[in-house]
Amino acid sequence: MFRYILKRLVSSVLVLVIIVTASFFIMRVAPGGPFDTERSMPEEVLQNIQAKYNLDKPLWQQYLLQMKSIMLEGDFGPSMKYPNKSVNDILAEGLPVSMTLGVQSLVVALLIGLPAGLIAALKQNQWADYTAMTGAMVGISIPNFVLGPILIALFAIELPWFAAAGWNSLSAGLVPYLQTSVLPSLALGSAYAAYVARLTRGGMLEITRQDYIQTARAKGLREWLIVRRHALRGALIPVVSYLGPAFAGMLTGSIVIEQIFNIPGLGSHFVNSAFNRDYPLVLGTIVLYSGLLVVLNLVVDIAYTVLDPRVSYEDA
Amino acid sequence: MSALTRLPHILLVAVLAVIGAACGGSAAESGGDGTLAGRASPDTTVFYKTIGEPEQLDPGFVMESEGGEVLATTFERLLNFNPEDMTLEPGVATSWTVSDDGLTYTFRLRPDAKWSDGVAITAHDFEYSWLRALAPETGSEVASLLWKIEGAEAYTKSTPENRAAAREAVAIEAANDSTFRVRLVHPVAYFDRYAAFAQLSPVPRHVIEEHGDQWSRPENMVSNGPWTVTEWATQQRIVAERNPYYWNAEAIPFDRVEYLIAQANMAQWNMFEAGQVDILNRVPQTFIPRLRREQPPAFHEGPFLATYFYMFNVDEPPVDDVRVRQALNLAVDKSKIGTFVLKGGQDPGAGPTHPLLADMGYTPPEAPAFDPQQARTLLAEAGYPGGEGFPPLKISYNTLESHKAVAEFVQQEWSKNLGINVELENMEWKVFLDANREGDFQIARRGWTPGILDPKELLDIWKGDEPVNVSGWANARFDELLEESDRTVDQEARLELLAEAERVWLEDAPGITLYYYRQHNMVQPWVDGFAENMLAAYPTRHFSIRTTAPALASQ
């Protein structure tokens, strides 16, 4: 197991190096530069600025300098758009917000999705099943950029319970935090809740037809005990394998929600840094997101071994 | 990690809170009666505003409006302008004089002006600050604002070898602690307006020498305005606290100014509607007709000193032919833009200057009016009768919904009135700028906000050697007239020269002015002191929050 994790980590670093290299060069192919403005600057001034950011050096030299400072010092350098801030500062400010929002949305997805899926499976083809699955269908169909403004209109403007936009971290107190975080995590989590519900229902239906469940029933165990002790573990495997990509999707896909609710996460940097040709910030967000994806996939793979004894990486 | 494990718990609390609030009775009504009901914060010592994310807060660098807004609140220039009548008022300077030849401006500084750390401000601070903006090592766009000063442009463009001498030659001088003097290259009747520009605020030398590039971060920030920035959380808020050393501290209405940062117009709008901010300067375009109908007390609109135009690349056929350019100009009914296309009430474009200039006595030459018949004749003369055989033509614009709407309208007009089909091409901003600089376009959308009410500021961008002018159009007569106006001190004669230059522009038609911008603001009913002005600049120190009880009848 330990060797497996080590192996995966080493290959992840390789993957990251390839990603950084590719993004570095692709970015430079795009026309325009960080210091292009409507009133172009005199050549002398421009040269001074470019020298400040090493942009006057040949591209391969810039690449090596950047790689060296990323790999050895973990330093992405100063942002070109926000010269007073380092890329590390900007990422450090945005990451906790994006993570908090992601985790909370995941919790929303599970809190709604799991019970809905379980009830639907246990009451298959009864009204509860139909209600839950119709709800799930609606949840999947409504995009979050529609749900977000509806939630704002209802619960921030008509009924002023929550903030229409902005973000308070948990350190500002529980109530201010919830005022800004409940609506966006509902908007972000609901589509995932719908998937979770459908996956849970599917998993449960499959498992409850297995022989060992029939055996448990024949023993005369009570239904909830069967569900809890025997069925749930197996039924959750598809849900767990979905959670990794789902969480990654919530982190990277939160850009829309971050825009609508004006949340200071990483999503907008991910997009705007590219528009601004803020090269260091582009690299920073790419490395961070790809790093998160790699780690999340690893976590999911490890979680399999916990849930399904048949999966093992010992001999891998 | 404890926050993570507590999350399910937190959500439960949230659900309970929602239920609790639902049972708690009716929500606050909007403050239509002029009371504070509907304001998210009951604290009237704080003023709330929403802006986009500024790039930075160092006056020596800021060129975008977001940073400019914060600078206007936290720094003070030599002069301030009064938002109501646009006159200049004393700032750090108590008085200023111009020499008879119009070249030397002398500012007398107040003795009680101080930085927010208590250090006194002298003329040497201004000398240091303006030279810093000009220095080639600084690498700032702000430099070009000061090039009207003798020796300034040469210093910015100096090489390391001649730099020291170039710096010596710049005519910016602190004669003593309280006298600041500059000499201009040529008379500029409105140079005192520059002295009120946020970018030309002084910067604290003693703090810059201690902290270097990092001096304008909130933890190091020292400024000289009514408030000083103390917190900047990226994409969240910028907080400015009262500066106890401000010379006019008693006149300052708020202890704190909070800028809530929101990039999207919709997010800004939501904050306004939820009462989180006191004023909104960016109203979503599509809301304007409805707001004009339904929100007359809160909704304010008026002209804004900025132009929106298409620039031709005069080296590219078919728009290298002046008859084609004139035909294209004559074939657009610009009066429809403000009423049917953008619906913001924008005035139809005519010449390259602005109708607001009438306020300062400028009479522009008459611009050709919409005339599809004449346009067709001109196009036929150019060799394309009825649009036949017209070469491919493309309008390029940077990606934005409103630019697209305008471009589609122009496309339609040309198709209808001239029988020609043009292509539209939207580009991401930096790609667009790159294409502009490379001359890789036929027609490009541009806009200009001069910031000073003078025709010169709008005509200057069309000079042959001006970096903004990427059209390839360089007209010797036009450049000559502008230069002659620089040498002319008599205001009336000067304006006549400028009108003549505008006539040259209209004849050659290197561009089409489509419309003049309009500003749209929303002001909460509890806010006093909003006075609309053509620069759309609303200094926070002029606002106050009304806390008086509403009239009995409305209770």
DSSP bridge pairs for B183: B104
> Could you read off the pLDDT of B289-309 as tens digits, one per residue?
999 998 878 999 999 999 999
Q: How confident is the model at residue B72 (pLDDT cuts 50, 70, 90)?
A: very high
**pLDDT on residue A315:** 54
Where is pLDDT greater, at A307 or B1?
A307
- Which of A84, A156, A161 lies closest to B216 in CB terms? A84
pLDDT average, residue stretch B110-132 = 96
Buried b or exposed e, range B5-23, using 16+ CB within 10 angstroms:
eebeebbebbeebeeeeee
- Residue B334 in this model has a pLDDT that exceeds 70: yes
How big is the CA angle at B20 (ends B17 and B23), to the nearest 5 degrees? 150
pLDDT, position B549: 45
Task: Select from A93, A261, A275 the Cβ nearest to the Cβ of B430.
Answer: A275
B55–A83 CB contact, under 8 Å: yes
Reported ipTM: the value is 0.78
Neighbours of B25 (CB within 10 A): 6
Average pLDDT over residues A209-234: 83
- Residue B46 scores a pLDDT above 90: yes
Average pLDDT over residues B55-70: 91
Q: What is the pLDDT of residue B291?
A: 93
Residues B518, B283 contacting (CB under 8 angstroms): no
Three-state secondary structure call for residue B261 = strand
Distance CA B342, CA B284 (A): 11
Q: How confident is the model at residue B35 (pLDDT cuts 50, 70, 90)?
A: low
Please tell me the distance from the alpha carbon of residue B461 to that of residue B465, in angstroms, as a whole number: 9
Burial class (CB in 10 A: 0-12, 13-18, 19+), A127: exposed
User: Mutation test of the interface with chain A: which of B16, B220, B236, choosing the one with the most A Cβ atoms within 10 A?
Assistant: B236
Q: Tell me, what amino acid is at B527?
A: V
> Is B139–A90 a contact, with Cβ atoms under 8 angstroms apart?
no
B8 vs A contacts (CB less than 8 Å): 107, 111
**Tokens representing A9?**
């980590």
Mutation site for B-interface testing, chosen from A36, A37, A38 by largest number of B Cβ within 10 Å: A38
- Asked whether the beta carbons of residue A262 and residue B264 sit closer than 8 angstroms, the reply is yes
Q: What contacts B416, CB < 8 A, 6 or more positions away? A: none
Task: Please compute the mean of the pLDDT values over residues A94-105 and round it to a whole number.
Answer: 90
Helix B476-487 and helix B491-508: axis angle, to 10°? 170
Q: Which helix (H) or strand (E) holds A301?
A: helix A279-307
Q: For the ranges A59-63, B263-267, B312-316, B540-544, which has the lowest average pLDDT? A: B263-267
Q: Which residues of B touch A263 (CB under 8 A)?
A: 235
Which tops the pLDDT comparison, A5 or A24? Answer: A24
Q: Which residue of B has its CA nearest to A264?
A: B235
pTM of the predicted protein model: 0.84
| B contacts of A188 (beta carbons < 8 Å) | none
Sign of CA dihedral B156, B162, B164, B168: negative
- For residues B326-346, one letter each, b for 16 or more C-beta atoms within 10 angstroms of the residue's C-beta and e for the rest, the string is bbbbbbbbbeebbeebbbbbb
A305, pLDDT greater than 80: no
- Flag whether pLDDT at B114 surpasses 90: yes
Q: Are B426 and B399 in contact (CB under 8 A)?
A: yes
Q: Summarize the confidence of residues B251-271 as an average pLDDT.
A: 91
How much is the pLDDT for B28? 35
Phi, psi dihedrals of residue B255, rounded to the nearest 5°: -75, -30
**pLDDT tens digits, one per residue of B275-294:** 999 999 999 888 999 999 98
Q: Report the alpha-carbon distance of residue B484 to residue B494 in Å, rounded.
A: 8
> Pairing mode, if any, of strands B46-51 and B256-261?
parallel
Residue of A nearest to B212 (CA): A84
pLDDT reading at B16 higher than 60: no
A165/B17 CB distance under 8 A: no
Q: Say yes or no to pLDDT of A221 above 90.
A: no
Rounded CA gap, B78 and B174, in Å?
A: 13
Give the closest residue to B105 by CA, choosing from B179, B196, B45: B179
Question: Does the structure show a pLDDT above 50 at B192?
Answer: yes
- Integer angstrom CA distances of residue A90 from A97, A156, B337: 12, 29, 41
> How far is Cα B446 from Cα B312, in angstroms, rounded to an integer?
10
Decide if A201 contacts A120 (C-beta within 8 A).
yes
The predicted pLDDT at position B418 comes to 95
Residue that has been written with the tokens 């009825």 in this structure: B386
Q: State the average pLDDT over residues B412-438.
A: 93
Whether the pLDDT of residue A306 is over 80: the answer is: no
CA-based nearest residue in chain A for residue B445: A38
| Non-local CB neighbours of B449 within 8 Å, separated by 6+ positions | B304, B305, B306, B517
**Minimal C-alpha gap between A210 and chain B (Å):** 32
Helices (H), B245-333: 265-273, 288-294, 322-330
The residue among B425, B537, B512 whose CA lies nearest residue B197 is B537
Mean pLDDT in chain B?
89
Provide the pLDDT for residue B95.
95
pLDDT given for residue A314 in this prediction = 64
Cβ-based contacts of A161 with chain B (< 8 Å): 17-18, 21, 27
Poorest-confidence range of A91-95, A248-252, B146-150? A248-252
Smallest Cβ–Cβ distance between A41 and the set B141, B271, B430 belongs to B141
pLDDT digits (tens, 9 = 90+) for B132-178: 999 988 888 888 889 999 999 999 988 889 999 999 999 999 999 99
Cβ of A163 and B14 within 8 Å? no
Distance to chain A for B27, nearest Cα, Å: 6
Q: Which of A101, A100, A99, A78 is nearest to A90 (CA)?
A: A78
Number of H helices, E strands in chain A: 14, 0
Which chain B positions have a beta carbon within 8 Å of A87's beta carbon?
none
Residue B29's Cβ-count burial label (10 Å; 0-12, 13-18, 19+) is exposed
- What stretches of B184-343 adopt beta strand conformation (E)? 227-233, 237-242, 256-261, 279-280, 299-312
What pLDDT, on the 0 to 100 scale, is given for residue B548? Answer: 64
Decide if pLDDT at B26 tops 90.
no
**B545 strand-pairing partners:** B527
Q: For residue B108, which phi and psi values (nearest 5 degrees)?
A: -95, 125
Q: Which of B410, B368, B313 is nearest to B507 (CA)?
A: B368
Cα separation, B538 vs B70, whole angstroms: 11
Task: Residue B402: name the closest of B292, B506, B485, B288 by CA.
Answer: B288
The CB density around residue A238, as the number of other CB atoms within 10 Å, is 16
Q: Determine the distance in angstroms separating the CA of B270 from the nearest CA of chain A, rounded to an integer.
A: 6
How far apart are the CA of B37 and the nearest CA of chain A, in angstroms? 12
Mutate to test the interface with A, among B7, B158, B162 (most CBs of A within 10 A): B7
Q: Which uninterrupted H or E stretch holds B374?
A: helix B372-381
Bridging pattern class, strands B347-348 and B179-183: unpaired
Domains of chain A listed by start with CATH number? 95-266 (1.10.3720.10)
Give contacts of B433 with chain A, Cβ < 8 Å.
Answer: 32, 36-38
| Residue partners of B147: CB distance under 8 A and separation at least 6 | B153, B156, B185
B388-to-A125, A305, B375, B411 alpha-carbon distances in Å: 68, 73, 14, 16
For residue B4, pLDDT beyond 80? no
Distance to chain B for A54, nearest Cα, Å? 14
Phi, psi of B161 (to 5 degrees): -70, -45
Return the percentage of chain B with pLDDT > 70, whole number.
92
Question: Mean pLDDT throughout B535-550?
Answer: 82
In whole angstroms, what is the distance from residue B180 CA to residue B124 CA? 8
Q: What percent of chain A has pLDDT over 70?
A: 98
Please give the span between the terminal C-alpha atoms of chain A, in angstroms, as a whole number. Answer: 8
Q: In angstroms, what separates the C-alpha of B236 from chain A's closest C-alpha? A: 6
CB contact under 8 A, A85 and B434: no
* pLDDT band, residue A238 (cuts 50/70/90): confident
For B108, counting Cβ atoms within 10 Å of its Cβ (0-12 exposed, 13-18 middle, 19+ buried), the class is middle
**Which segment of A229-238, B216-225, B507-516 scores lowest on mean pLDDT?**
A229-238
Residue of B267, B446, B467 with shortest CB distance to A165: B267
Quick check: A164 and B467 CB within 8 A?
Answer: no
Q: Which residue has the higher pLDDT, A300 or B90?
A: B90
Please name the member of B7, B158, B214 whose beta carbon is closest to the beta carbon of A107. Answer: B7
Q: Which residue has the higher pLDDT, B102 or B23?
A: B102
Q: Per the CB < 8 Å rule, is B428 touching A275?
A: yes
Report pLDDT for A164.
Answer: 81
CA-closest candidate to residue B482, choices B460, B504, B464? B460
Q: Cβ B274–A167 below 8 Å, yes or no?
A: no
CA of B2: which chain A residue's CA is closest?
A: A170
Q: What is the pLDDT of residues A132-185, one digit of tens each?
A: 888 888 888 888 889 999 998 899 888 888 888 888 888 888 898 998 899 999
Q: A164 and B274 in contact by Cβ < 8 A?
A: yes
Q: What is the 3-state composition of chain A as percent helix, strand, coil, each rounded to the nearest 5?
A: 75, 0, 25
Closest CA to A80 of A301, A289, A276: A276
